[in-house]
Each structure stands twice: as structure tokens, then as C-alpha cells.
Amino acid sequence: MAHPPPASAPELPAELAEATRDGAALKRFLHGLPGVDQVGLEQRAAGLATRSIKKDSKLWAIDTAIGMVDLTTLEGADTAGKVRALAAKARRPDPDRPDTPRAAALCVYPDLAATAVEALAGSGVGVASVATAFPSGRSSLQAKLAEVELAVSAGATEVDMVIDRGAFLSGEYGRVFDEIRDVRESCGPAHLKVILETGELGTYDNVRRASWLALLAGADFVKTSTGKISPAATLPVTQLMLQAVRDWRDRTGQLRGVKPAGGIRSTKDAIRHLVAVHEVAGPEWLSPALFRFGASSLLGDLLMQRRTQLDGHYSGPDYVAVDQ
Amino acid sequence: MTSDSGIPGSERPGEPTRGHTDAPARLGVTKTYKLYIGGAFPRSESGRVHPVHDSHGEFLANAARASRKDVRDAVAAARKAFGGWSSATAYNRGQVLFRVAEVMEGRRAQFVAEVAAAEGVSTGTAESTVNATIDRMVWYAGWTDKLAAVLGAANPVAGPYFSFSVPEPTGVVGILAPQQSSLLGLVSVVAPVLAAGNTCVVVSSTERPLPAITLAEVLATSDLPGGVANLLTGDAAELAPWLASHADVNALDPSGVPDSLRAEIERSSAGTVKRVLDVRPGEQDWTREPDIRRLREFTEIKTVWHPVGM
């Protein structure tokens, strides 16, 4: 905890500033957070998931969700060609229907960030790059910062970092905090999304603690998962994170975002998440600036459902671009 | 019937005995059947059921009344199953269809009773219908590995190429099964589609769905991968337009569509570039020996040119 907070960071209320003083204070603060009522949380998530969104509201929700998609390709087999193809899809998701909103960002590995930046120049679609030894996060701080440097210098506007789950689970909150803070500084103007990998955190209490830890350390977004571990984004976990950013707004006045990633494949899932955003955080979070979906196959289903709404009959995968 | 002790009135009270007219008759268990989608038996998404009567108007059972969302789910299941079924070897597909015939044979008494009740025919006629149905399944099972030889060719071309034509399955086929012939007609339209390597969504006869439901139970227990055949009961006139306009259905067999709806169905099929089987108005005679027309209609010919001697 040797670093002073960045000069640009706004003042935190006294009790939050106190929490970031040292490792012991941070631990006290995180363990002092109220415990999560697991049954209540899951019941509320299930209850919100039964809301029926139809007709005009459904079309609005589909368009909103398309505008929130971080189109993601994070495979060992990624090529520049695939990134360019996805960039074209992010610019114009449904070429037959130019009124379709564009995706929020394209999410790639850092070595392909330059390709993505070039392919998306002037389109308004952001370029997100994962960094810090994604997906495991097992490397030295030096290597992680070098990777962030690579992404930012290539022109990435958003950096998705992973936390060191090993350190978090063994209670070394200070180390995780310092790492996020260091990455935050290396990001410069780029937005920082902090991936908690909730599938490895074990309990809802840990998810709440990790969310607050990331927010205290300066994350612009908290993100559920890498997409490499199952379970990835579930409704209760997203809801917990939404509670955290809502409480953060109430205590500091700052708006921070949430990004569920992995496992959201259908329009139905996406709409359920939007309902949770509206009900748990609030309507101002229904914007790509504060809520994103990390997904690869979701966009195809959203486009099919959009066509179904507009054409009056069911659509099929032959009619939308398939990612290869 | 006499009681063992021979003393009148020694029967225990409440025990039903023959001849006792005031004893309660056994209550029959009336079934409420479900749909067959993706290898499982779900209720209709709409929760609707409709009563099914025999040819004399006697109540038989309740059948699910599928909605457009069940059509959507069934098409999704058929699409998911298409990769596996279409790439299975012709030999394997033939074995599976033969297995279906075997399991039907085991259920023949049930089929005979259901066909007799649904179509109002004598037991003897129903028996010969069930025999013809099982024979038809075996006939189509035998075609799976002969189709490529009959429909395909090594084409004579004037150039340094081998040119081959091979039949490939069309994709997901929507089938509106015949309204009158509840079992023989059904199998006569479903078997060729499966034998050619397609997956299908079948809407059974509206008034006579019970043999179709039993066929679904047979398919579920005879090695046919889940989703290859999906069977919906309900109103054909309600479901046909949704199946015809669905963009992920590649071909349509409109055998069971009411004649008044035919034109509309063909128009909306054209809107999504569907292959529509040309069937004459009215119901055909399903007892006639089949030919390979239906196998040919639900395959597409792929021709490959391969350079030689270069």
C-alpha cells in the first residue's frame, strides 16, 4: 500500500479512504461488509427472471443489449483475419438492416489490439484488450504491467485485467489492491475493467468483497469472469455486483459499471440481465457506458430475435453473419 | 362366484365382488399426453390440452395442444440434432430405423388398439395397417445406404476431371402429417425424411394424435438421437403458418394442411426459400407401395469436380 492514490482520483469519503490505508484496514473493511443472504439473493434473481418483456419493450431491450455487447474473441487460434471480420460485424451487426445499433467494443488479446484499432478506426466502437496474463493471472507484476503497456500503446481504449485469485483467496487483499492500482496507473486514459473470475471465488461473500476491493482500487468496471471457467456470469452474481456499484454511487457519488461475461448466449438471458440492471442498480445503468455484455455468440441470437420481431416470423442462423 | 366359506354375507364389506351392482367400478387413469421435443416429453409452453375422442365420440385421452413457441423450440432442437444425424453413416441410420421397426413390433397391440379407435376400423383392418406401417419403416431403413448409388453418379465429363454427384440431406424438414391415416400415413411421411438424413418437426393429425404419441414413445426408446424427430400434437391449421414461415426450416411437407390453407403456406414458404413437397389436394391412398420420390425430394444433389492427370 505504498502508493498514494492517483492525483486525478476524486476524494473518497473518510471511511472508504481509511479502508485503503493499509492491508489490515482493507481486510477489516472487507470483512465488515454485510454477509450475503444466499437464499434471498437467488430467490430475487429468479423472481426478476420471470418478468415478461414483449413487443416494443422487447425490441427496445434487444437494441439496448446489442449496443452493450463487447464482441469477444479470446482463443489461442485467433488470427488478424478473424479480428477484422469481427470488427466488421461490430460496426454493422446486421448489414441488411442499417438501423441496427453497433456493438460497444471488440475484446481481443493484446497482440491483436493494434489490428482491432486499425479495423475500427473512426467507427465509434471501442477496443478492449485483456491483459495481466489473462486468463489465469499467474505471472509477475512486471510482466502484467508490460502487457497492459502493450495494449494501451496499441490504442486499446479499455483494458480487461484479471485479479490474482490465489492472493485474494489466501487473504492477501493488500497485494490484490496494489496490483489493481498499479494497472490502473499504467492504463492512462483507458478504462479499466477488473475481472473477478467469480467461478473461482467460491462464495457470494467473496464476490461482494472482491467487488468492493476492485472499486476501492479504482476499477471503472467490475467484470464477472474470463469466460474460461464454468460457472461464469450467473444472475445472482451479476446482481451482487450491481448492488456494489449502486452502493458505491450512494456513498461516493461516482458511477462505476458492471460487465457480466461468459455463459450469456440467448436474448432471453440478456433481457433477464437488463431487468436486473434496472431493478437493482437503476435506469441510469442501462447504458453501454455502465453495463456491458462480454459475449461471442450472444450477438447472433440478438440479431435473430431482432429480425423475428421486425419480420413477424422466426429467423434462422442462415440469415445473420456467423463468427468463424 | 361363491365365497370360500359358503356362508352368505361372509364377504368383507367394501371388497368388490362380481355381481354386486352397487360396488364402485375401478376408475380408469385417463392420460394427458405431452409433446416430444429434443428427446424429452415437455408440456406445451402454452399449457393447453385438448380432449381426443374415438370415431364414436367416446373420450380417449387428453393431448397437448402445441403453440408457435413449441414449434420454435422443436425447430431449434431439430437444428441442433442435424449435424450428428446427417453425418452419421448411412449404415448406422439404417440400423437405427430398423430398430424403430423392431420396437414398433413390440408395441403392436397398443398400435392396433389406437388405430382401431382413432380411425373407426375393425381390429383386423387395424392389424393390417400396423403391419403395413412396420413394413414401410423397414423398407425405408433399407434405403439409407442405397440412396447414394441410385441418386448419385460418377458423371461422364469431357475434361481431365472426375465429376461426382452425391445426394445430401436438405436440413430441417417441417412435416404436417396426414389428417386421416393416423399411423401409416404418419410413418410414410416421417420415415423417408429420416432415412435421407434430415431432422424433422412433425405436426400430427389434429383429431387422431394418439398413434403419433405412441410412435414418439417408440422413437424415444429406439436409439434415435434426441431432436432428430420432434413430434407436436395440436391444431395443424394453427401451427402450419409458423412452420412455413420459419427461416430455419429448409423444407416442408404440407400433406396434412387443409386445402384452403395450401396457397398461403406455399407463399410463406417461398418467402424463406423453402423446398415444398408437391402434394395433391385431398388425402392420398397410403396403402399403395411407396417409391423413392420422398427420399429424392428431401435431398440436395452436390456435384464435386476433382482434377485428374494434371
The answer to whether A158 and A121 are in contact (CB under 8 A) is no
The domain that contains A145 carries what CATH number? 3.20.20.70
Q: Does B246 touch chain A (CB under 8 A)?
A: yes
A chain contacts of residue B272, beta-carbon cutoff 8 Å? 313, 316
CA distances from B93 to A64, B15, B39, B260, B308 (A): 45, 54, 17, 36, 33
Q: Which residue has the cell 471503472?
A: A220
Strands B59-64 and B251-253: unpaired
Retrieve residue B289's grid coordinates: 407401395
The amino acid occupying position B32 is T
Q: Which of residues 254-273 of B touch A (CB under 8 A)?
A: 268, 271-272
A78 lies in some domain: yes
The answer to whether A222 and A244 are in contact (CB under 8 A) is yes
Q: Which residue of B has its CA nearest to A314?
A: B246
The answer to whether A239 and A277 are in contact (CB under 8 A) is no
CA distance B134 to B128: 10
B chain contacts of residue A314, beta-carbon cutoff 8 Å? 71-72, 75, 242, 245-248
A chain contacts of residue B268, beta-carbon cutoff 8 Å? 313
Contacts of B266 (CB under 8 A, 6+ apart): B244, B254, B276
The answer to whether A72 and A296 are in contact (CB under 8 A) is yes
**Domain boundaries B49-307, corresponding CATH code:** 3.40.605.10
Phi and psi, residue B299, nearest 5° = -125, 155
The answer to whether B180 and B283 are in contact (CB under 8 A) is yes
Instruction: Report pLDDT digits (tens) over B97-145.
Output: 999 999 999 999 999 999 999 999 999 999 999 999 999 999 999 999 9
A17 lies in some domain: no
What value of ipTM does the predicted structure carry? Answer: 0.82
CA distance B85 to B75: 15
The answer to whether A263 and A232 are in contact (CB under 8 A) is yes
Question: How many domains would you assign to chain A?
Answer: 1
A24 lies in some domain: no
A chain contacts of residue B248, beta-carbon cutoff 8 Å? 314-318
Interface test with A, best of B272, B273, B274 (most A CBs within 10 A): B272
A86 lies in some domain: yes
Going across the sheet that includes A126-131, the strands are A257-259, A221-223, A191-195, A158-162, A126-131, A105-108, A69-72, A293-295
Q: Where are the domains of chain B?
A: 49-307
User: What number of C-beta contacts closer than 8 Å exist between A and B?
Assistant: 30
CA distance B236 to B255: 11
Query: H-helix or E-strand containing A55?
Result: helix A55-66
The verdict on a CB contact (< 8 Å) between B248 and A313 is: no
Q: Which residue has the cell 499467474?
A: A138
Active site (catalytic) residues of A: 160, 223, 259
Give percent of chain B with pLDDT exceeding 90: 88
How far away is chain A from the Cα of B123, in angstroms, using its nearest Cα?
43
Is residue B17 over pLDDT 80? no
Looking at residue A6, its pLDDT comes to 47
Looking at residue B12, its pLDDT comes to 47
The amino acid occupying position B234 is G
Exposed, middle or buried by CB within 10 Å (0-12, 13-18, 19+), for A317? middle
Looking at residue A11, its pLDDT comes to 76
B chain contacts of residue A265, beta-carbon cutoff 8 Å? none
Instruction: For residue B290, say if its preceding peptide bond is cis, omega within 30 degrees of 0.
Output: no
The answer to whether B145 and B91 are in contact (CB under 8 A) is yes
Mean pLDDT to the nearest integer, B174-183: 97
CA distance A162 to A168: 12
A7 lies in some domain: no
Would you state the torsion angle of the CA atoms of residues B210, B215, B218, B220, taken in this order, to the nearest 10 degrees? -100
β-bridge mates for residue A72, sequence order: A107
Residue B184, Ramachandran bin (φ over 0: left; ψ between -120 and 50: alpha; else beta):
alpha
CA distances from A202 to A195, A196, B109, B218 (A): 15, 11, 55, 44
Looking at residue A8, its pLDDT comes to 45
Q: Which residue of B has its CA nearest to A304?
A: B247
Least confident range from A10-14, B64-68, B169-173: namely A10-14
Contacts of B274 (CB under 8 A, 6+ apart): B244, B249, B250, B251, B252
Q: A79 is in which domain, residue-wise?
A: 33-311
Looking at residue A9, its pLDDT comes to 54
CA distance B93 to B224: 9
Q: Which residue of A has its CA nearest to B268?
A: A313
pLDDT in tens, chain A (324 residues): 444 444 445 678 998 999 999 999 999 999 999 999 999 999 999 999 999 999 999 999 999 999 999 999 999 999 999 999 999 999 999 999 999 999 999 999 999 999 999 999 999 999 999 999 999 999 999 999 999 999 999 999 999 999 999 999 999 999 999 999 999 999 999 999 999 999 999 999 999 999 999 999 999 999 999 999 888 899 999 999 999 999 999 999 999 999 999 989 999 999 999 999 999 999 999 999 999 999 988 999 999 999 999 999 999 988 887 665
The DSSP line for chain B is: ---TT--TT-SPTT---TT-TTSPPPPP---B---BBTTB-PPPTT--EEEEE-TTS-EEEEEE---HHHHHHHHHHHHHHHHHHHHS-HHHHHHHHHHHHHHHHHTHHHHHHHHHHHHT--HHHHHHHHHHHHHHHHHHHHHTTTHHHHH-EEE--SSSEEEEEEEEE--EEEEE--SS-TTHHHHHHHHHHHHTT-EEEEE--SS--HHHHHHHHHHHTTTPPTTSEEEE-S-HHHHHHHHHH-TT--EEE-TTS-GGGHHHHHHHHHHTT-EE----SS---TTSPP-SHHHHHTEEEEEEEEE---
The answer to whether B115 and B205 are in contact (CB under 8 A) is no
Q: Does B82 touch chain A (CB under 8 A)?
A: no
Q: Which residue of B has its CA nearest to A315?
A: B247
The answer to whether A278 and A286 are in contact (CB under 8 A) is yes
CA distance A196 to A226: 8
Looking at residue B5, its pLDDT comes to 44
A173 lies in some domain: yes
Retrieve residue B130's grid coordinates: 400396423
The amino acid occupying position A3 is H
Q: Which of A288, A298, A227, A272 is nearest to A71 (CA)?
A: A298
Going across the sheet that includes B161-169, the strands are B153-155, B161-169, B299-307
